[in-house]
A and B are shown apart, each in its own frame.
Chain A
């Protein structure tokens, strides 16, 4: 990371920072060739022709070193009970369909459905859940595995699942068996408010609970990167308390904004999907056709239109260390995995390091190794202070509510109120004396 900051325009950036995209490969090869010619001309160093071939063969291993995840997991949670919250189950099942479509197997999807709407006696279409009034896609389908259902969907079980503090007899299908190379996609939907989300209409999970659970996951090395997506009223407040690294969060609406449903199906009799999820799905269904899609999260987030969604979706990137335009959607929603080869896989790194040095880049061996293995770079206090201002939301005014701002005014207001009372009391007592 340090290296990249020092030489932002370095030719090594594509290797060091992230994988080359296929479209960049020819450019890169020609670049190497020019470089090679230049080296030969200046006679600084005689690089054997094999060396440049070796360089090319090194590209995939550089990719391995950078996009670190070796497995993809999804935790999809609907938290609402009762038939009138049909749309929340449809939201979650739409996401289930999407991640399954993009290749995540059932064994790596934890699906939490808080109520049974598919076989509910009020459902006109038994065994089906639709997310659109055209009823083109049956989300329940023929092959579905629900891991937690009904009364099992509780705050306790959710936190236990995330932190893997489960009872001894818990079957594998009910556990999140991730490691520090797993990318996790967490999707939640339900009824919420400022810094809380209701479960089953009976209990709440607070933003602090989730933030602490994520920190515990980080400490236990249970994830590599995490995408947290939430569709509920005042959703952006739910991720405002996160403080663990490598979490990218997005929500449907900011503080004091409601999230709305998209449309209702008259035959089902209730709303079938929420707006934010609907437009997410619209993008995913029309653009991300398969697991080899090269669309990035920046593309997805820039597709959000607050007018259509009727609330201001938010994105929090300050905890995330990659640039969104380089993060593929399939890094989280798909099952594109990299094979991790034992050993450091850097057989030719001495050649490459020598080449880099000969090209005029002043790199120490340690910096090189760090950049190649892509080890987690602990931020210093200074760096952390720098990124506070980066906590941004998409499209202008959508800002995440933060304590430091509002508390000041709240304190001023309350101090003012106390002051007014005190002054009033004093004035009246004075009049009394007179």
Chain B
């Protein structure tokens, strides 16, 4: 503990104190060398991979391990105390938290990094295994977990209530090891908030969980302005216990990842002028390969040119040396920055000569570096002539989901699952968590296979369904199905839209209501054709925007106006009836002013004469 404390100060303090700090560290090492100190280990790695269409995928991975006994005794070393105490208080054994923005374009970019295990649906998604005696206790702990996390991550996770919580049956399996815990005491709960914005206030606490807090190591590149300018970005936090099968000792692991897809031309343009403006005509690169190209008109080549870039261009800064925790015990496997690109492209790459290259045996299209403390690192990737198509990994499955139908009352959902593999079928678990006001008709749930195929009736092998209860819980629909090789499965179902109460509408009801992404899980399996083992993969569709019948919110005022009008009319006529005296025309005494005046005058005259 003390050792780490002293080392952690090395990069915080001024150079004059550095020597003292070094001495102190040495002293502590000497004094502690007699005892066996089990310290947490920490790894961090940045993977860069150019994608097609001038996109660059940057995957940040931060991982720390520590003995679970120390964790249980609240002796936190590298594990963030703020999160650790929440997990202990709520008896959470395994936690997965996801923040995502944008859409992963699998047609263009291929398979998601990390087999999609680190990706979440749009907005915020979280699932956890909570240890409890019964359902009620588990739900209470889940609620307090979400409330605590909402305070920690500045997100409205407290909105995950019973209507947004589901308990998936097939989609999720614990990734941690539980040798001592009775698995019947572990409850899986899953919640999602598709509307939740992801912004700097979520990144700030994310970085604060890291041992180097974004001040050194690869996390120095994580700047909110660049991250939220990316075409796709996803942040994840996973906490799980891991046990060694040999020694039987258990560790607690926290893994934080950030995947971002940068648009290189956009990022480079930001560097020149902060406001994205259309390019000047002379800056445009015209596509002359088109048959309709001429000298008069320029058809600009969009994103297909191979721009040179460097880390400092894209992220606005260089990596300011390695994180002291990550370079503490260098091993042969230590790699901090890796770039995946075709071999001939890598040869021309330049780095600031301040990092040692790490060995990468048998992988010609990979180049890795080990960072050094306090020495900045940059990497520049030159322009390639001719442009080389980057590495792209074909995804196991393409998935798309959309709304069908029209009107304010009914609608339909259509999900298209395409298996690009020519030989092997894919078994998938399809999970939907729908809000209570979207009520699917289960009898309309159908799967259609294109091209038509004999065993079409058996495509869906298992189906779990939990119908919604108004204002209490949402619908959970989980289906296991097989997508035959080189074909498309289309899932469809119809639903009915509920009418909400006046006060249940959000302030921006006319925008629509977000429906969480469908979660498609491919369990680990062995491919039939080549015997290759495929690890568990997950894919998220985009979220949907459901428009519900919304009332006219000025209705109360209209009601007041109408009511007042009717009251005025009623009052007026009744008042007339009560006050007026109705008589026949001939009965009316004529008010003859002339006659009256004449009469008066006559009387006066009479008086005078008398």
Contact = CB atoms under 8 A, between A and B. Distances in A.
Interface of A: 81-82, 116, 118-120, 124-128, 135, 138, 140-147, 149-152, 167, 169-174, 200-202, 267, 434
Contact of A434 (B158, B197, B274, B591): B591
B228 interface: yes
Task: Bin the interface of chain B by size.
Answer: 35 or more
A151 B157 CA distance: 12
Contact of B506 (A127, A151, A267): A151
The residue among A118, A126, A128 with the most chain B CB atoms within 10 A of its own CB is A126
Given A119-B101, A119-B228, A124-B275, A171 B200 contact: no
A275 B591 CA distance: 68
Interface string B229-271: 1000000000000000000000000000000000000000000
Nearest to A81: B507
B204 A201 contact: no
Contacts of A118: 199-200, 228
A250 B254 CA distance: 48
Contacts of B205: 145
Contacts of A173: 151-152, 154
B200 A169 contact: no
A81 B201 CA distance: 18
B95 to A, nearest CB: 16
Nearest to B596: A434
B274 A142 contact: no
Query: 8 closest A-B pairs (Cβ-Cβ)?
Result: A171-B151, A169-B147, A116-B197, A119-B199, A200-B507, A202-B507, A127-B224, A173-B151
B276 A124 contact: yes
A269 to B, nearest CB: 11
A81 B508 contact: yes
A167 B148 CA distance: 12
Given A142-B223, A200-B507, A119 B147 contact: no
B276 A142 contact: no
A126 B147 contact: no
B225 A146 contact: no
Contacts of B228: 118-119, 126-127
A135 B274 contact: yes
B143 A127 contact: no
A144 B205 CA distance: 9
B156 interface: yes
| Centre residue among B151, B200, B275 by max chain A CB count within 10 A | B200
Contacts of A143: 204
Interface in B125-166: 143-144, 147-148, 150-152, 154-156, 158-159
Given A119-B199, A125-B225, A173-B152, 4 more contacts: A81-B508, A147-B154, A169-B144, A172-B151
Interface of B: 101, 143-144, 147-148, 150-152, 154-156, 158-159, 195-201, 204-205, 223-225, 227-229, 274-276, 506-508, 553, 591
Nearest to A268: B275
A327 B152 CA distance: 35
Nearest to A106: B204
Contacts of A126: 225, 228-229
Nearest to B147: A169
Given A124-B276, A126-B228, A145-B205, A116 B199 contact: yes
A267 B276 CA distance: 10
Given A116-B199, A124-B275, A127-B229, A82 B508 contact: yes
A125 B591 CA distance: 83
Contacts of A267: 275
Contacts of A138: 225
B227 A127 contact: yes
B568 to A, nearest CB: 15
A128 B225 contact: yes
B204 A145 contact: yes
A38 to B, nearest CB: 54
A102 to B, nearest CB: 20
Residue from the set A147, A171, A174 with the largest chain B CB neighbour count within 10 Å: A171
B566 to A, nearest CB: 21
A265 to B, nearest CB: 10
Contacts of B225: 125-128, 138
A144 B201 contact: yes
B204 A142 contact: yes
A68 B117 CA distance: 54
16 contacts: A116-B197, A119-B197, A119-B198, A125-B275, A127-B200, A142-B200, A145-B201, A149-B197, A150-B195, A150-B197, A152-B156, A152-B159, A169-B143, A171-B148, A171-B150, A171-B152
A146 B152 CA distance: 10
